[in-house]
A and B are shown apart, each in its own frame.
Chain A
Amino acid sequence: MRVCRVVLTFSLLMGLAAFGQEPAQDGVLKVMQAELTRSYDALKKAPVAPYFLSYQLTDNRAISVESELGALMGSSDRTTRLLDLDLRVGDYKLDNTHKLGGRNEFLQRGFGEATATVPLENDSEGLAIALWLETDHQYKDAVQRYEAVKTSGNLRKTDGTEKKDEGDFSKAPSENYSEPISELKFDRAAWEQKVRSYSHPFANYSDMIDGSVTASGEIETRRYVNSDGSLIRISSPFYRLMISASIRATDGEVLPLHRDWMSFTPEGLPSDAEVNKTVTDMIAILTALRKAPVEEPYTGPAILSGRAAAVFFHEIFGHRIEGDRLNNDEDAQTFKKRINQSVLPPFLSVYSDPTLKRIGSTELVGYYPFDDEGVKARRLTIVQNGIFKSFLTSRTPITGFAESNGHGRRQQGHKVEARQANLVVESSKTVTREELKKKLIVEVKAAKKPYGLLFDDIQGGFTFTQRTIPNAFNINPTVVYRIYTDGREEMVRGLDLIGTPLIAFSKISATDDQPGIFNGVCGAESGWVPVSASAPGMLIDQIEVQRKEKSQERLPILPDPTSRGPETKAAGN
C-alpha cells in the first residue's frame, strides 16, 4: 500500500537520536545485555536449559517517495524497531532448531516469529519487559520443539548418505564492535518534487503503461548481544533511486525496463542531469523495443553483458552455494558432491566478500562488517580456477563446513540463513568487448546460424532448486540484440533465457575485460537482503531461448483520456 505521512513526528525523532554514542553508553545495548543475562541465568535453572541466547534489535527509519507519470503516488516516513531472538535448548550437536523429518515442517515451525511490541524510545523499561516476555515465549516453544526433535530422531530411520553428524549449531568467537549511529539525510519534500519531475517525461507517451520513480533513504541500526558475550552495533545508511517503466507493444506484450542506483550516501545518488538522461534513454529503448520483432525459439551462441552476467551468476550460481540449502533434503543440492571438482571453466574464479565497500567507483550494497549471527565478515573463495572450494555458511553447520564463514543473514523478523552478499566473478582470460563480439561471430558461423544474441540487460528471473521439479532456470531479459555475421545489431523482444545450470556454466568460453555490477535486494527464505554481484561480459557457446508467455489481456477499449492523445509521439531517436 502506498502511503504518505504529512507531518514528521519530531518528538519521536528526538527520542531516537543517539548519535555518536559509545557502545558502553548505549542504554539500549545495556538493557539488552542485562536482560539477556538475567533471563538466561534464570532459564539455566529450568529442567530443560538453554545453551545459547541472542537478541538482535533492528531499528529502521525509512523515508520513501514514489511518483508515477509525474504525479505523487505515495510518500512515507516510517520508524520501526523489531526484535529477533534466537534461543536454543539441547546442545550444539542436537537442539530445538534441528530439521524435523517428514513434510510437517511448516506446522512444526508455526507462526512464532517475533511479535513483541518494543518501545521506540531508548530509555524505556518497556524494552526489558518485551525482551523478558519474548524470551519466555520462545523458550517454551523451544522446549516443546526440542521434545519433538528428540522423538522424531528415535522414530525415523537414519539414511547413511544424508546423515548429519555436523550438529545443529557451531561455535563462534565472542565479538565486540560498534559503529556510530548514522544520520538520515533525506529531504523528503525536495525528493517528492524530484521524483515528480523525473517521472514526468513518461507521461508524454501514450503507450507507456507505467513510468514510476521511487526514491528512498533508510538507516538501519542493528544491535546484537548473545550469551557468549558478543556486543555489536552496526548502523548502515542506504539510499536508493529506482526507475521502472513499461510500454505495450502492438501485439499486447508488456515490455518492462528498470534502472536503479544504490549508495551509502545521498551524494552517491545520480544528479538530476544523469537521471533525466537515463529517463530519455529508457524512453528511446522502450520505443524501439515496442517496434522490435519477436524473437523465435533459438539455440546458439550468445553474449551476456557484464551486468547481465552478474544477475545471471547471482540467480543461477549464487543461490546454489547458499549452504543452508544442503540441510534441506528437498533441495537439489547441485554442488553438494562437487567440492574440489570443476564446476566452471578453469579461467573463472568466484569469491564472496561482504567487507568490500566498492569495486572501482561503484558502491556495493552487499557490504557488512558482521553478519546477523554476530560473526565477523571475511573474504571467501568459492571457486578457484574453475574448482569449487566452499559454500556460504551461517552458524548452522553443513557437511564438510563445521563453522560459519560470516554469511548468516536475515531481514528482521525472519530466521537466519546463509545468503549471498557481494559475489564477484573474476576471469584470467579476458579480451576486449569488440573481440568478444568477433568471437561470437566466429561461433555463429561455425554453428551455421544466421545470428547470435547479445543480452544487454536482465531484470531477474527464477531458478528451481527443489528436487521434485526439473532443475531449470528461466531468466527474463529486457534488452536483447541479434548480432548478425556482418556485425549488424538488431533489437528483439518476447523471449526468455532458459536452461539448466551445470550445462550453461560449462559452455562459457570467453570473457571480456569490462565487469558489470548489479546492486539489488534479493528475496529468499530469510527475507529481503541487499546484495551485489559483479561479473565480466561472457560468451556462452550455446544458450536456449523460448517465447515469453503471451499476454491474454486485451488493450483498453477506450483511448487514453489524457492530453497525451491517442498517437504515440516520436521518441527520442
Chain B
Amino acid sequence: MKRLLRILMLLALAAGPMVAAEDDVVMKAMRDELGRSMQQLHLPDVDKPYFIAYRVNDGEITVIAATLGDLTASDQERSRTLNIELRVGDYTLDNTNFLPTRGTERFSRMFSGSGQLPIDNDYEQIRRAIWLATDAEYKRSAEELSSKRAVFKNRKGVSDLPDFTKYEAVNITGAPASSKAEVIALEKLARELSAIFRGSPEILKSEVRITIRNLYSRYVNSEGSSYTEPDPMATVTVSAESQAADGQPLKEAFDVIVISSSDFHKDEIAARTRKMLERIKTLRNAKTIERYNGPVLFEGQAAAQAFGQVFAPALVSTRIPTSDDPRFEAGIQQFLAQMGGGSLADRLGGRVLPADYDVVDKPHDKAQGKIELMGGAQIDDEAVPTKDTVIVEKGILKSLLSTRTPSTDSKATTGSRHGIGASPTNLFLISHKPQTEQELRKQIMDIVKQRGLEYGLVVRDLGAVGLSWVGRMGAIAGQMGNLNPGDVEIYKVYPDGKEELVRGVEFAPFLVGGFKDVLASGDQPSVYTGPFIPMANAMLAGMGGTAGPNGDPFTMVSYVAPSLLFEEVSLKRTSGSSPNPPVAPSPMAVGN
C-alpha cells in the first residue's frame, strides 16, 4: 500500500489541485455505511436514527519550534479522524439539547462520536471502523433519548422548541490544499527568527513556534448533502519571557496567521520580533499604575481584539440544554450570571452600539486590504451554505448568528455552525463616522484635560485573551493550545504627546454593554485573527448538543474593526505576588 505515500509525493512535486474527492474510497465508504445505517440500523422497540452525518478529517500538522537559533521540536503528524452526528427520534424531539448529570452518561457523551480511522485509503477497513463507531453511537443516543423522555414526562415547562431543523440537500466539492509544509525552509525560518533573542540575557525564555495545519474535511449526511473542503492554516507565534527587577513575570507574544507558509514575510516578522524584544526590555524597568479610571483608546489591532473578545461572543444564539437535575440548572444559571452573563439575545431590536455602527459577518471575504482573512468558509459544519449576515444595523441588534438547532431567539440557521456551536467567520465592525487618528488623539486629550487627569491610556495589544474572562480562565488551565496569552501592551499618553509604556496592569471586567458608549472610531480598520471564545453558556450548550466536528474547541475568526475610543474604562495593577528573580545569574551574562 504505497499508494497514499505516492499521492502525497505527487502533491509535493506538482502543486496542482488533486483529483476531486467525490469518488475517493473514503467518501464511498462514508456514503455506503450511511445508506445502510439509515435503512437498517435499529433495535426493535427503540427509536430509529432519523439523521446521520459523518465527517472525516484528514489532518497534517507540522510543528517546528526553536529557541536562540536552535530547534527544540520538529514534528509532523498525520491523522484521520471520524466524527459522527447521529440523532434518534425526529426533528421535533431527539436525543440532543439534553445534559445528563448523573451516572456515567455525562462522561460517555464527552468521549463519544469520534475515533481514529486508518490513514491508508483502505475502503474495507475505513467502512468497518465507521460501522462499529455508528453502532456504538446509535446505542448511546437511543439510551439518551429514553432518559430525556423520562425527564420530560416528570417535569413541566420544558422547552417545546424543536430540537433540529431540516435543510435542503447541498453538494459542494473543494480540492485539498496543494501546499505542503517545506520543513527544511521552515526550520531555517524558526532558527533565524529565534536567534534574534541571542545576546539578551534579560530574556529568560523565548520561542518561535511555527505550526502548519493542513486540514481536509469530507462530509456526508442523510439529507443528501455532502461536501469536501480544505482548511489550511499557517501560524508563527513568537513569545518571550522576562522578569522585572521586582520579580514580576513579563510575557510578550504575537501570532502571524495566514493560509499558507508561503505568505510568511520573514522581514516583517523579524521586525516585529525585534520590536517586541525592545519593548520587553523597556518593560522590565517600566512603572506600573495602581488604578486608572478614565478614557482609553484601543488602537489598531487592540480594537479588533476588544471587539472579538468582548462583543463578538454575545452575538451568537445558544440553546441551553435541559438537564435531568433542576438544581444543576439553577446552579448553572447562577454561575453564568457571575461569568458575565449570556448573549445579547434579550436585546434583539434594542440598541447595542451607537447609531453610526454596523456589525456584519462576511464568510466570503478573503482579505481586508493586504491582510488575509482567515475565518471564511463556503459551507458551515452542518452543510448549510454560508452568507453575509447583518447582525447590527445603525446600532440596533437585528439578528444573532445561529445554527440548525433552534433557540428562543432564532428559528432559522444563518449557516454559522463552526466548532461546538454558532460562531462568526470574518466579523466586521463598521463605523459610518470615521475620524482620523489625530482627531482621536485630540479627543482623548480633551477628556484628559477636562477631567483633570495627568494622562490617558492607549492600548495597542490585548493578546489572545486580554479581555476575555473565559479565555483567561482557559489560559490558566492550559486549555488554550498554542495560543499565547501575552501581556497587554498599554501606554500612558500625556497632553504633550509623550508616551510611556505601562507594566503589570489588568482590566476590570469589561462587558459587552460598554460598547453602547463607544465615543469615537478611527478610519483605518485593523484585522485581528484569533480564537472565537464563546461565552460560558455557549460552551454548556455545546456539551448538550452534538460533538464538535473537528475536535477544536475554538474556531479561528478574523475580526475587523477601526480604532475605538471609550470614555470610561477601569484598570488596576495586576494582582498576585511574584517569584524572586533567579538566584544564580544567567549563564549568558557570565563573562559579559
B271 to chain A, nearest CB (A): 23
Taking CB as reference atom, which chain B residue is nearest A46? B583
Report chain B residues within 8 Å CB of A570. Answer: none
**B 179-205 to A, binary, CB cutoff 8 A, 1 in contact else 0:** 001011001000000000010000011
Does B590 interact with chain A (Cβ within 8 Å)? yes
Report chain B residues within 8 Å CB of A463. Answer: none
A6 CA / B582 CA spacing, docked (Å): 41
Does A93 interact with chain B (Cβ within 8 Å)? no
Contact A136 B583 (CB under 8 A): yes
Contact B584 A132 (CB under 8 A): yes
A73 CA / B70 CA spacing, docked (Å): 32
Name B435-464 residues within 8 Å CB distance of A. Answer: none
Does A434 interact with chain B (Cβ within 8 Å)? no
Report chain B residues within 8 Å CB of A192. Answer: 1
A79 CA / B132 CA spacing, docked (Å): 34
8 Å CB contact of A558 from B40, B73, B120, B586: B40
Does A561 interact with chain B (Cβ within 8 Å)? yes
Taking CB as reference atom, which chain A residue is nearest B203? A129
Of A8-16, A217-225, A300-308, A453-461, the stretch lying at the interface with chain B is A8-16
Contact A4 B583 (CB under 8 A): no
Given known contacts A133-B205, A556-B132, A557-B138, A6 and B76 CB-to-CB distance under 8 angstroms: yes
Does A341 interact with chain B (Cβ within 8 Å)? no
Contact A132 B582 (CB under 8 A): yes
Report chain B residues within 8 Å CB of A4. Answer: 76-79, 119
8 Å CB contact of B79 from A1, A7, A42, A128: A1
Contact B125 A12 (CB under 8 A): no
8 Å CB contact of B32 from A9, A35, A203, A561: A561
A124 CA / B72 CA spacing, docked (Å): 10
Given known contacts A11-B187, A203-B124, A561 and B33 CB-to-CB distance under 8 angstroms: yes
Contact B37 A133 (CB under 8 A): no
B56 to chain A, nearest CB (A): 14
8 Å CB contact of B119 from A46, A74, A119, A561: A74
**B 1-31 to A, binary, CB cutoff 8 A, 1 in contact else 0:** 1101100100000000000000000000000
Chain B interface bracket (under 10, 10 to 19, 20 to 34, 35 or more): 35 or more
A2 to chain B, nearest CB (A): 5
A7 CA / B212 CA spacing, docked (Å): 14
Report chain B residues within 8 Å CB of A287. Answer: none
Contact A124 B139 (CB under 8 A): no
Does A438 interact with chain B (Cβ within 8 Å)? no
Report chain B residues within 8 Å CB of A75. Answer: 78, 119
Does B42 interact with chain A (Cβ within 8 Å)? yes
A38 CA / B70 CA spacing, docked (Å): 23
A203 CA / B129 CA spacing, docked (Å): 12
Does B74 interact with chain A (Cβ within 8 Å)? yes
A83 to chain B, nearest CB (A): 12
8 Å CB contact of A38 from B4, B75, B116, B587: B587
**A 1-36 to B, binary, CB cutoff 8 A, 1 in contact else 0:** 111111101111001000000000000000000010
Does A126 interact with chain B (Cβ within 8 Å)? yes
Report chain A residues within 8 Å CB of B205. Answer: 117, 129, 133
Contact A3 B79 (CB under 8 A): yes
Contact A120 B79 (CB under 8 A): no
Given known contacts A4-B119, A133-B205, A560 and B42 CB-to-CB distance under 8 angstroms: no
Name A39-80 residues within 8 Å CB distance of B. Answer: 39, 42-43, 46, 68-76, 78-79
Does A376 interact with chain B (Cβ within 8 Å)? no
A194 to chain B, nearest CB (A): 12
Taking CB as reference atom, which chain B residue is nearest A76? B77
Given known contacts A70-B122, A133-B582, A562-B128, A6 and B78 CB-to-CB distance under 8 angstroms: yes
Taking CB as reference atom, which chain A residue is nearest B138? A557
Report chain A residues within 8 Å CB of B181. Answer: 7
Does A554 interact with chain B (Cβ within 8 Å)? yes
Chain A contact surface mostly: mixed
Contact A68 B580 (CB under 8 A): no
8 Å CB contact of B135 from A46, A132, A558: A558
B435 to chain A, nearest CB (A): 45
Contact A140 B60 (CB under 8 A): no
Contact A2 B79 (CB under 8 A): yes
Report chain A residues within 8 Å CB of B126. Answer: 71
Does A242 interact with chain B (Cβ within 8 Å)? no
Contact A5 B75 (CB under 8 A): yes
Contact B72 A117 (CB under 8 A): yes
B562 to chain A, nearest CB (A): 38
Contact A117 B207 (CB under 8 A): yes
Report chain B residues within 8 Å CB of A556. Answer: 131-132, 135
Given known contacts A11-B184, A557-B138, A43 and B584 CB-to-CB distance under 8 angstroms: yes
Contact B580 A126 (CB under 8 A): no
A139 CA / B584 CA spacing, docked (Å): 11
Contact B33 A73 (CB under 8 A): no
Most interface-central of B36, B72, B131, B205 (chain A CB within 10 A): B72
8 Å CB contact of B120 from A76, A120, A128, A196: A196
A502 to chain B, nearest CB (A): 36
8 Å CB contact of B583 from A35, A42, A124, A131: A42
B577 to chain A, nearest CB (A): 13
A76 CA / B65 CA spacing, docked (Å): 18
A4 CA / B4 CA spacing, docked (Å): 12
Most interface-central of B4, B67, B126, B132 (chain A CB within 10 A): B67
A561 CA / B65 CA spacing, docked (Å): 44
Does B172 interact with chain A (Cβ within 8 Å)? no
**A 71-113 to B, binary, CB cutoff 8 A, 1 in contact else 0:** 1111110110000000000000000000000000000000000
Interface residues of B (CB under 8 A from A): 1-2, 4-5, 8, 32-33, 36-37, 40-43, 60, 65-79, 116, 118-120, 122, 124-128, 131-132, 135, 138-139, 181, 183-184, 187, 198, 204-205, 207, 579-580, 582-588, 590
